[in-house]
Structure 1
Amino acid sequence: MKPESWPQEPATVTEADAAAVSAQLGRPIRGAHAVAWRCPCGQPAVIETEPRLPDGSPFPTTYYLTCPKAASAIGRLEGGGVMKDMNERLATDEDLAAQHRRSHDDYLARRAKLGDVPEIAGVSAGGMPDRVKCLHALVGHALAAGPGVDPCGDEAIEMLPEWWKHSSCASEQEAGE
């Protein structure tokens, strides 16, 4: 079920956001450029990450899904064979394959605005442009870009339950409150 607040304008990562994401990931946040999408519960859920981390490592995953509840729900989709079905459709549906390639191009264009990292030139995320390898990456891109940009990400979002309905993406204890 798609969230009502989709897409959103990227927002500066605050100290509270960094603490919440660190709690969500179980490690310090790295290379965050912006909160690309905030969950309806109020917590950051997709972080727009710099293409080069502070330690100098190239990082191709521009849209990093941090919400553990969404990630868990996406894992269930992956475990249920959704990626296999999407890959079969990509192999036979020329329109879907063309949309998926355009999504790859969009991803690369968005990352290029953050910086040029030759080591990851042409590399997007989630298996693009030819397959679906990671729904987490495609959903992160779809939430950041908005409907109609990442067809497989959009489709996965439509399949997800309302993960934000019953509690925050980072519990009070995890968020240090």
Structure 2
Amino acid sequence: MTTPPFDPATDRDIAIVSAQLGRPARNVIGIAARCVCGAPTVVATAPRLDDGTPFPTLYYLSHPAATAALSYLEATQVMNEFNELLENDDDLRAHYADAHAAYLADRESIAEVPEIAGISAGGMPSRVKCLHALGAHALAAGPGVNPIGDLALERANWSPSVCECLDYSVG
């Protein structure tokens, strides 16, 4: 199996992600997207944690400004709007199902974990549950792969091309 393209995580990356999250980063296997300044924005996390716990969220949003922007969207009920779009748009629903399949393929290329087989993230393939996970997938996979993640990033008051990082004076 081949793994999805992402940068290996350096010790400095892990220190930055830990600072971003406010806790030690765990089981990071790579950096799937970066801020324009180079700081991690999305981490790739092992499908099975070191303690044996299955972890379906391969792409995890770590950037505080991105997380805050998507949290704001969730608080303003944008997920209801996106769920309605899914319900009423056959093409969007098919594209979202393709995003689910792509997510599963990426994760399964790293490891197959029977307990989470068929489970992706963010509510895929049939509903919108977590904009953080969908935005992380969109950032990691690039535009056009996850249509709901793309919509969320378009609506968010945040852009990966504008640095809003804190001073990560670590390592």
Structure 2 equivalent of residue 4 of structure 1:
none
Structure 2 equivalent of residue 29 of structure 1:
25
Structure 2 equivalent of residue 161 of structure 1:
157
> Is 1:19 equivalent to 2:15 in the alignment?
yes
* Residues 112 and 94 of structure 1: CA distance in aligned 2, closer, same or farther (over 3 Å): same
Question: Aligned equivalents of 2:163 and 2:112: distance in 1?
Answer: 40
Structure 1 equivalent of residue 74 of structure 2:
78
Of residues 39, 49, 56 in structure 1, which corresponds to 2:35?
A: 39
Identity %: 51
Residue identity in the other structure for 1:14: T
Aligned alpha-carbon RMSD (Å)? 1.7
The worse-fitting range, judged by mean Cα deviation, of 34-43 and 133-142 is 34-43
Question: Aligned equivalents of 1:134 and 1:17: distance in 2?
Answer: 25
Instruction: Output aligned runs, 1:100-139, within 5 Å.
Output: 100-139=96-135
Residue identity in the other structure for 2:137: H
Question: Aligned equivalents of 1:24 and 1:93: distance in 2?
Answer: 36
Normalised TM-score (structure 1): 0.89
| Stretches of structure 1 lacking an aligned partner (at least 5 in a row) | 1-8
* Residues 166 and 97 of structure 1: CA distance in aligned 2, closer, same or farther (over 3 Å): closer
* Residues 51 and 78 of structure 1: CA distance in aligned 2, closer, same or farther (over 3 Å): same
Question: CA-to-partner distance for each residue in 1:15-55, whole Å, 9 max, x for gaps?
Answer: 10000000111111111111000011321010011100111
Question: Aligned equivalents of 2:163 and 2:137: distance in 1?
Answer: 24
Q: SS of 2:12's equivalent?
A: helix
Number of matched residues? 167
Higher relative contact order (CA 8 A, sep 6+): 1
Q: SS of 2:120's equivalent?
A: coil
Question: Aligned equivalents of 2:122 and 2:33: distance in 1?
Answer: 18
Of residues 125, 129, 149 in structure 1, which corresponds to 2:145?
A: 149
Question: Aligned equivalents of 2:157 and 2:96: distance in 1?
Answer: 24
* Contact 1:69-1:163 within 8 A present in 2 as well: no
* Residues 17 and 78 of structure 1: CA distance in aligned 2, closer, same or farther (over 3 Å): same
Question: CA-to-partner distance for each residue in 1:47-90, whole Å, 9 max, x for gaps?
Answer: 01110011111000000000011000011111122110000111
Of residues 51, 54, 58 in structure 2, which corresponds to 1:55?
A: 51
Q: 1:176: how far off?
A: 3.7
* Contact 2:7-2:32 within 8 A present in 1 as well: yes
Q: 1:166: how far off?
A: 6.0
| Stretches of structure 2 lacking an aligned partner (at least 5 in a row) | none
